[in-house]
Amino acid sequence: ELKVEQNPLFLSMQEGKNYTIYCNYSTTSDRLYWYRQDPGKSLESLFVLLSNGAVKQEGRLMASLDTKARLSTLHITAAVHDLSATYFCAFLPGTASKLTFGTGTRLQVTL
Amino acid sequence: DTGVSQDPRHKITKRGQNVTFRCDPISEHNRLYWYRQTLGQGPEFLTYFQNEAQLEKSRLLSDRFSAERPKGSFSTLEIQRTEQGDSAMYLCASSLTGTSDEQYFGPGTRLTVT
């Protein structure tokens, strides 16, 4: 069964703090995606990770992929309130075309 | 705006009625996907098309659901005899093969069945 586990499911953090969201997936894949979703809105693509050891950074967010451990991380540096949203990771196993999503991590950044 | 568009954005219907949603993908994208998302969950795959061919359907897609992409451009998703359990956000995405397989999502259609 294709599964993605994210943790934590909910994260409340103060502005200025750092934290990491973890995404474990169930089968071999070298295609991993991170999306952001604001309440009531659709998904916005954040990062596309396509190889073992891939690391991408945009602003205060950095994503990495370890295909051997089947693990991706999303690191938040010096969080700001605007980062409050739900973050999903999703992967494409093998030659599949359908994304399998995690349950999401709801991030709340407090002042 | 050249992103994925969906219509309508919101639909309220009574149980037992039929509803149809439309998705217009990014113009050069050959793949089109439908997902369903319920509150507090990640999106779940329903079906996808490559050009006009429907290549995969999830077992979540009961006989009451049908999707088409007649000319390989826009797609429609029809739900017949709606049930309260069909209430969800229906998301459409598109992608171009031969690239990163990145899927771009539309704004979604929120369906409420009363």
> Which of B4, B105, B109, B111 best probes binding to A when mutated, by most A CB atoms within 10 angstroms?
B105
CB-CB neighbours of B42 under 10 Å: 22
A85 interface with B at CB cutoff 8 Å: no
pLDDT (0 to 100) of residue B1: 55
Q: Does A42 lie at the interface with B, CB-CB under 8 angstroms?
A: yes
DSSP class of residue B10? E
Q: How far is CA A82 from CA A86, B8, B29, in A?
A: 12, 28, 31
Nearest to A92 among B55, B101, B105 (CB): B101
CA distances to A88, B17, B54, B82, B93 from B48, rounded to whole Å, are 20, 24, 6, 21, 9
State the smallest CA–CA distance between residue B108 and chain A in angstroms. Answer: 6
Determine the pLDDT at residue B44.
Answer: 95
Handedness of CA A24, A21, A35, A104 (dihedral sign): positive
Q: A43, A86, A87, A103: best mutation site toward chain B, by most B Cβ within 10 Å? A: A43
Q: What is the DSSP string of A47-61?
A: EEE-STT-EEEETTE
| pLDDT tens-digit map of B17-41 | 999 999 999 998 999 999 999 999 9
Quick one: closest CA in B to A49, which residue? B100
Position A103 pLDDT exceeds 60: yes
Residue of A nearest to B101 (CA): A97
Does the pLDDT at position B2 exceed 80? no
Distance of alpha carbon B65 from alpha carbon B79, whole angstroms: 5
Please write the tens of the pLDDT for every residue from A60-99.
Answer: 999 999 999 999 999 999 999 999 999 999 998 877 889 9
Q: Chain B window 12-31: which residues touch A at a Cβ cutoff of 8 Å?
A: 31
* pLDDT band per the 50, 70, 90 thresholds, residue B3: very high
Q: Residue A10 class from Cβ within 10 Å (0-12 exposed, 13-18 middle, 19+ buried)? A: exposed
- Residue A33, chain B, CB below 8 Å: the answer is yes
Residues 62-101 of B with CB under 8 A from A: 91, 93, 100-101
Contact A10, A105 (CB under 8 A): yes
Q: What is the pLDDT of residues B65-112, one digit of tens each?
A: 999 999 889 999 999 999 999 999 999 999 998 768 899 999 999 999
Q: How many CB pairs under 8 A join A and B?
A: 58
When scoring B29, B32, B101 by the number of chain A Cβ atoms within 10 A, the one with the most, hence best to mutate, is B101
